[in-house]
Amino acid sequence: MNEVIQTLLSHRSFRSFENKPVDEEQLDQIIQAVQAAPNWINGQQLSIIAIKDTERKKRFAELCGGQKHVEEAAVFLIFCADFYRTHLASEMEGMPMEAIEDIDTLIVGVTDVGIALGTAVAAAESFGLGTVPIGGIRRHSLEVVKELALPPYVIPITGLCIGHPGKDTGQKPRLPKEAVYHENTYQQEQKPLLEKYNDDYANYLAERSGAQRAGTWTKTVASFYRQPYYEGIADMLKQQKFPGGKE
């Protein structure tokens, strides 16, 4: 097993960090790695905004739903799908940007952000740093847009805490390979796999919490997707001139 695979397989999320800055050269290399990652048509539909100031981190911790680790992290990166440069390019070339009205454009931007986020996590962890992605950046998305002064055609997708890791709570068990990897066609009969995984997940929770927590993976996921989680997303998309916004 090479070092890259070993780093990837060792991933776990950290929600506590030491009060210690991240080396600026390491941060620069993380951003360089993100810029080298694949992206659609080399359009590079991505921007990253780094939050390092203590008060600014505290503000974003609040906007993310009171997530203290956002404030504790040495740096909080906010990943945005960015078609503002595409807008400028279209203006410079005298061409309409009609594709912005197609939902596929939103998929492209979110895909580019996903690739970038995964790259940043792997790069940061290669330096021994701890990370945790923060979907809560969308909890108050209109306020986040205002705080970051985002122009039209730019939307916040996810955040990423990076810092020197504190308490290690271990790795969460993953679904069996058979549930996520398919050959030739999608295998729909997965309930036996999920039932087995529920046992593994429940054991993990019990061990991690000293028997203070209980539950299964299917119950957790089903509860999460029972109804929309964040409000105001459609309004934010409309304001930023993306498809999917309310008319």
Domain residue ranges of the chain, discontinuous segments joined by +: 3-170+230-239, 172-215
Q: Which pLDDT tens digit goes with each residue over 70-105?
A: 999 999 999 999 999 999 999 999 999 999 999 999
Structure confidence at residue 36 (pLDDT) = 98
For residue 77, list its beta bridge partners.
50, 160
- pLDDT tens for 142-184 read 999 999 999 999 999 999 999 999 888 788 899 999 999 999 9
Q: Which of 5-9, 154-158, 191-195, 212-216 has the lowest mean pLDDT?
A: 212-216
Angstrom distance (rounded) from CA 146 to CA 76: 17
Residue 214 has pLDDT above 80, yes or no: no
The superfamily CATH assigns to domain 3-170+230-239 is: NADH Oxidase (3.40.109.10)
Closest CA to 132 of 186, 72, 82, 196: 72
Condensed to tens digits (0 to 9), the pLDDT of residues 44-62 reads 999 999 999 999 999 999 9
